[in-house]
Structure 1
Amino acid sequence: MSTDGSTATLLAALLKLRAELSGAALGLEIPGAQDGRDARQALVTQLDDYVLPRLVQQDAPLLAVVGGSTGAGKSTLVNSLIGRAVTESGVLRPTTRSAVLVHHPDDAEWFQPDRILPDLARTASQTNDARSLTLVAAHTVPRGLAILDAPDVDSVEESNRRLAGELLAAADLWLFVTSAARYADQVPWDYLREAADRSAAVAIVLDRTSTESMGEVRGHLARMLTARGLKDSPLFTVLESSVDSEGLLPPSAVAPILSWLHDLAGDPEVRAAVVAQTLDGAVRKIVFAAFDVADLVAEQGAVTASLVEDVDRAYTGAEAAFDKSVSDGTLMHGELAARWRDFVGGDMGRGVDDRMGRIRDRIVDSVRGRRTRVAEVQQALATNVELLLLEQAEAGAHAAYQAWEENQAGAALLRGGDRELERATRTVRARAERVSQDWVEACTEIVRSTGSERKTSARFLALGTHGAAITLAVAVLNELATREDAHHSGGAAARDLLAETFGDSSEHLLQTAKEDLLRRAGTVLVGERQRFYDALSRTAASPDAAASIRSAARSAEDARHRDLIPDDWDNLT
């Protein structure tokens, strides 16, 4: 690849794509979710372990990862290529050990943790930690080349298989080792098919094969490679041989492979061609796979939208029920009805002027030290509004919870620790109490804001500001009640008093007070539904996540096409 501005553009595009992929949540348990999470993580890991470091350091040594089947002789081959034992052969299976990377001493700086495979801790000697990388310096490795011994791709140990895949994904060149006994196994071919899909540079080593069977096995293996898109991959053979006291094969057995690797390391143009081919193939595969992840993210977004609709429907219903009950006289019962009747004089059949006189007498009584009936009505008003708001908060929670239980993804969220969503929050009572009391007090401010000529009228003076305020509040609670129902509850008296006191302004006051109550109650119910939104935000992708991934992938693909790939791979064979 070129090292000019086009590479910088590609690097920026891939960094953007990485950010979009890592930031897209796939937490909803819908069909394909786990596959999507695995695919997304594989792409991020591929970017971190190979593509981004290699783009930044295109002059870094060529990394040849030696991988293959269990018992194929990878470690023995690596030791023989180096000329001494640098990695232990696994006599017992399965064997879990750190991977070993062998490099020329002058190339040591290229393999620091911030350069390649950053998630693997560096060690000076081989350990049993699969998440570490043993660095070995050897003068027998030419400058510009590093050889990495990976675990078995078909190991029974999951950690070994996972590490093998991670290391192979970080390779500029795969040196794939198999044997006459294992070359047709399915698992290694799955890895080779992946290599072919992303145009990775691959060389095959047919190891531990007898002279008698070499021709037949090599011919069959070559046909298999051709059928799977790897016909141009170099194919080396290592005859079955005895090892020396240090466990090394005869130098002649590995000479062709060693010569080929030295030629790669010694020719900058050919080495660059190998890197360019593998890197370009990796970027192309990442871009295409990112669109698949975006599709899964979009599916999650659709389910998220459905779950949000369930919550909105539940709480919109709760708000509508609150609105109806506030206005239709439902709240005019019990203590509130009794206190209001007492306030207006008990006999709802009295005329307005008569009621005004009786109310005026009670105000005089309160001035003389008797407990004001206004305060009793205010408290009863607040209590009834509070209880209604609590009831609808519980109803909204229950309806949203039930809807989620009927949805696979929603039910999984509830099982995952959000069962408390079935009930209203523990703090809703305190908030409902505050809202109710604040509204009753707000009615007083609404009355005070009316025209001064109304506040000097005889009727207003008879009621007083607080009396007029509770009259307004009671009228709100009976706005839609029938005349008969309103008469029995005292609501008709409140509406009559309000009209007689404020005239044409009464309807405006009524609407203002009602809207204020609904707004205050709405804030409580919005806070209640937010719990469901929060549960979704912890697991679900944002609505525009899929589009953002697709956009970033398209930008990366455009940048990839602007980077020219030298077509020199044929020269390597």
Structure 2
Amino acid sequence: MATVQETDALLRSLTDLRTVLQQLRLPLDLPEAAEHRRTARRLVDHLDDYLLPRVRQLGAPLLAVVGGSTGAGKSTLVNSLVGAEVTTAGVLRPTTRSPVLVHHPDDTAWFASDRILPTLPRVTGHDADGRALRLVAHPDVPRGLALLDAPDIDSVVVENRELGEELLGAADLWVFVTTAARYADAVPWDLLAAAARRRAVVTVVLNRVDPPARDAVAAHLGRMLTDNGLPEARLVTVPEAELVDGRVPPHAVAPLASWLRAVVGDGASREQVVHRTLGGAVEDLVATVPALASAADDHVAHVEGLRRTARHEYGAARDAVRDATSDGTMLRGEVLARWQEFVGTGEVLRAVEAKVSTIRDRAVAFLRGRPAPEPVAEAIGSGLVDLVVDAADRAAQRTAAAWRADPAGRRLVDGLWLTRASTDLRPRVAAAVREWQRGVLDLVSTEGADRRSTARALSFGVNGLGAALMVSIFATTGGLTAAEVGVAGGTAVLAQRLLEAVFGDEAVRRLTRTAQADLVDRLGALLDDERSRFSGALDALDAPTSAGDRLRSAAREVARDATWLGALPELPDDLRGAGTRAADADVAPEPPAEESVVRRWWRRLWED
């Protein structure tokens, strides 16, 4: 018997694992992702429906779920076990549209609450439909045991199939009902495989068997159970017989009835059944979690891969913009024409080549009366806008194409306008460039204010020197065509020397570095904003990077706290009295008469 401390510890760790499973996000359409999501939901349901309530109350009544294929006779079997019509049986399929739980009146409180199967509302009476649990109290049901007539596991109604599987997951005892014509169907064996993984206490009822075929069919079914990991499952045969008041004759169901009574009639046997089923369920839970943790890791890695693609493409765009603002590319076309218009290419160039002592006077004399520098700034601004928008378009196209080539990424970009730059990018770039240009003028003004000796040079205008500083940023000749190198290179050198004549070499280098870094940062920030359209789609997936590790850690805690369950016990002999063990089905005996079974059961209790 477990101590309170042991059960409390297991309850806490199971609750923690449930929280992690509930929070698990597998948002991408990766291979097997849908199956992993179903597995996570199934584990949460199993924790809610069986594991948590059973650990909270180990002494609660046992739940024997009677499930099986359509038309196998589950409802008739439940009515026959109770000796009264407690659930509806009939020829229409599916008959059981909502589950019926039959219990002793003294056990009503255990099942009227949401202690188990919390998502199913409770109803009484005969009018229940869909996802509702109909409770029926009957005095002939043994105390400490409830029978649950579940919907068909192969029903044509999807909701019935899903509900049937959910109910079987809440069982302390699994009673599968099948027939000679249906026992090899695939669907029941999928659920029996789950029972094998959990090492559940399982009885398979082969219903309505013709006596001549009984041994052959039972032997084959027994071999199938053994081959599928259920050698200890008990196999009960119920012969074809005429119904009495819609029920199977008592002697035909006596082995199963006696077995169920024996389960709850002896405390030690009952505890072994609970420990076995609970231990197997915990073992299956812990064994299933690593696959989910790996799936969570795969999703995180895939999300990071998509994010890395966007970072790479937009990083390349930033590099392209940075290079274009420093390799001479900007000294083309309109920018070059406006700068030449402003300064000319001859007289000023000769002026800056004169002695330094006369440069300022001659430069000022020349620049007075020249055209205003605003067209230069406008041309630079227009060129920068085109540069950034073009880079953003290319990055968007390449990122979207890479994501569309990935099935998981395709779903993220479908329906989104992500193959081009944002429609409002152009005005945003223009605003950022204007801010940068104002910053350049502030740099020039501040530098001039710090140098009283340059006051006369600054008298021809901060804007002129600001334009010269903007041009000097694009000073090298890399990226220019052969025809452009001479003119553009000369005018860039001219801007540089004008600034040096006014501020000095060191100051010009500092101003150029500061202005270029500011430009690159501003334009890079705009490209980062563009990239956020892609990264935002990934952020919205809400896939925490630590999900896999949290699952593994929670599962380890459960395994540690479940050690009091010990090795899964063998079933006691008196719980093997219902029919024949699957491994021994080749020599299946005839069902004993009801009186001898009952006497044998009472005699064993008396001897114990």
**TM-score, normalising length: structure 1:** 0.88
**Aligned residue identity for 2:514:** T
Residue 389 of structure 2 is aligned to residue 387 of structure 1:
no
Counterparts in 2 of 1:344 and 1:170: CA distance versus 1, 3 Å? same
**Which deviations, in whole Å up to 9, do the C-alpha atoms of 1:260-288 show, x marking residues without a partner?**
32332343443332222112211211211
Matching residue of 2:398:
399
Q: Find the partner of 1:469 among 466, 469, 483.
A: 466
Moved more, 538-547 or 170-179: 538-547
Counterparts of 1:154-553 in structure 2 under 5 Å? 154-245=154-245, 247-344=246-343, 349-352=349-352, 353=359, 354-361=362-369, 373-415=372-414, 417-418=415-416, 420-450=417-447, 452-454=449-451, 456-458=453-455, 460-479=457-476, 481=478, 484=485, 487=488, 490-503=491-504, 504-539=506-541, 541-553=543-555
Q: Percent identity?
A: 42
- Name the CA distance, whole Å, in 2 between partners of 1:554 and 1:147: 34
3-state SS of paired residue (2:451): helix
Query: Corresponding residue for 2:585?
Result: none
1:156-190 CA distance string (max 9 Å, x none): 33322222111111111101112233233333233
For structure 1, which runs of at least 5 residues remain unmatched after alignment? 363-371
Q: CA deviation at 1:146?
A: 1.6
Residue type of the partner of 1:423? Answer: R
Q: How many angstroms does 1:562 deviate by?
A: 4.8
| 536-545 or 111-120, larger mean C-alpha shift | 536-545
Note closer, same or farther for the CA distance 1:128–1:472 as it changes in structure 2 (3 Å cut). farther
Tell me, yes or no, if the aligned pair for 1:264 and 1:270 is still in contact at 8 Å.
yes
Structure 1 residues 262 and 457: alpha-carbon distance in aligned structure 2, compared to 1, 3 A threshold = same
State the 1:489 CA deviation. Answer: 8.1
- Contact 2:80-2:247 within 8 A present in 1 as well: yes
Q: Tell me, in whole angstroms, the C-alpha distance in 2 between the residues paired with 1:190 and 1:118.
A: 25
Q: Is the 8 A contact 1:103 1:146 kept in 2?
A: yes
Q: 1:301 offset after TM fit, Å? A: 3.4
Q: 1:302 to 1:186 in 2, by over 3 A?
A: same
Structure 2 residue matching 1:382: 3-state secondary structure = helix
Q: Deviations over 1:317-345 (max 9, x none)?
A: 11111111112232334554444344436
Structure 1 residue 79 displacement after superposition: 1.7
Change in CA separation of 1:260 and 1:307 when aligned onto 2, cut-off 3 Å = same
Matches within 5 A, 1:85-96: 85-95=85-95
- Distance in 2 (alpha carbons) for counterparts of 1:23 and 1:429: 41
For the 8 Å contact 1:435–1:521, the answer to whether it is kept is yes
AA at the equivalent of 2:499:
L
Given that residues 113 and 119 in structure 1 are in contact (C-alpha distance below 8 angstroms), is that contact kept between their aligned partners in structure 2? no
SS in 1 for 2:88: coil
Cα distance in 1 between the residues matched to 2:453 and 2:87: 100
Q: Distance in 2 between matches of 1:472 and 1:112?
A: 83
Structure 2 distance, partners of 1:406, 1:323, is 29
DSSP 3-state at the match of 2:299: helix
Asked if 2 retains the 8 angstrom alpha-carbon contact of 1:69 and 1:178, the reply is yes
Q: Which moved more, 1:38-47 or 1:346-355?
A: 346-355
Distance in 2 (CA, whole Å) between partners of 1:225 and 1:260 is 19
**Is the contact made by 1:26 and 1:540 (CA closer than 8 Å) also made in structure 2?**
no
Structure 1 residue 147, shift from structure 2 partner: 1.3
Amino acid corresponding to residue 356 of structure 1 in structure 2? V
C-alpha distance in 1, partners of 2:292/2:333? 59
Task: Specify the alignment match of 2:27 in structure 1.
Answer: 27
8 Å CA contact 1:329–1:489 kept in 2: the answer is: no
- Residue 562 of structure 2: SS of its match in structure 1? helix
Residues 480-535 of structure 1: per-residue CA shift (max 9 Å, x gap): 65793563684332222222222112111111111111111121111211222222
Displacement over 6 Å in runs of 4+: none
User: For the residues of structure 2 that align with 1:126 and 1:524, how far apart are their CA atoms?
Assistant: 67
Partners of 2:143 and 2:448 in 1: CA distance: 93
CA RMSD in angstroms, aligned pairs only: 2.9
Q: Which has the larger radius of gyration?
A: 2
Q: Secondary structure at the match of 1:206?
A: strand
1:41 aligns with 2:41: yes
Pair 1:227–1:447, CA change in 2 (3 A): same
Q: Measured at CA, do residues 3 and 402 of structure 1 come closer, stay the same or move farther in structure 2, by a change above 3 Å? A: same
Gaps of 5+ in 2: 353-358, 577-608
The answer to whether the Cα contact below 8 Å between 1:332 and 1:489 also exists between their aligned partners in 2 is no
**2:147 aligns to what?**
147
Structure 1 pair 427/185, CA: closer, same or farther in 2 (3 Å)?
Answer: same
- Indicate how the Cα distance of structure 1 residues 468 and 61 shifts in structure 2: closer, same or farther if over 3 A, else same: farther
Distance 1:208 1:135 in 2: 27
Residue 458 of structure 1: CA displacement?
3.7
SS of the equivalent of 2:509 reads helix
Instruction: State the 1:208 CA deviation.
Output: 1.3
Determine if contact 2:10/2:558 at 8 Å carries over to the other structure.
yes
CA contact (8 A) 1:67 1:175 kept: yes
CA distance in 1, matches of 2:125, 2:378: 78
Letter in 2 for 1:284: E
C-alpha distance 128-331 of structure 1, shift in aligned 2 (>3 A):
farther
Q: Give the residue type in structure 2 aligned to 1:373.
A: A
Q: Is the 8 A contact 1:98 1:126 kept in 2?
A: no
How much does 1:195 deviate?
0.7
Which amino acid in structure 1 is aligned with residue 365 of structure 2? Answer: G
Structure-1 separation of matches of 2:96 and 2:82: 22
CA 556–434 in structure 1, closer or farther in 2 if over 3 Å, else same: farther
Distance 1:138 1:451 in 2: 100
Q: Distance in 1 between matches of 2:12 and 2:431?
A: 52
Letter in 2 for 1:443: V
Query: How many residues in Structure 1 have an aligned counterpart in Structure 2?
Result: 561
Using a 3 Å threshold, how does the CA distance of structure 1 residues 344 and 62 change in structure 2: closer, same or farther?
same
Range moving further from structure 2, 543-552 or 458-467: 458-467
In structure 2, give the amino acid aligned to 1:179. Answer: T
- 1:306 is matched by which residue type in structure 2? G
The structure-2 alpha-carbon separation of the partners of 1:524 and 1:53, relative to structure 1 and needing over 3 Å to count, comes to farther
When structure 1 is superposed on structure 2, of 504-513 and 268-277 the one drifting more is 268-277
Query: What secondary structure is seen at the aligned counterpart in 2 of 1:457?
Result: helix
| 1:341–1:113 distance in 2 versus 1, CA, 3 Å | farther
SS state at 1:384 partner = helix
Partner of 1:65: 65
Larger displacement relative to structure 2 (217-226 or 500-509): 217-226
The 3 A distance-change label for structure 1 pair 407 and 563 is same
Amino acid corresponding to residue 518 of structure 1 in structure 2: V
Structure 1 pair 102–455 and aligned structure 2 pair: CA distance change class (3 A)? farther
Distance in 2 separating the partners of 1:58 and 1:326: 74
| Amino acid in structure 2 at the alignment position of 1:355 | A
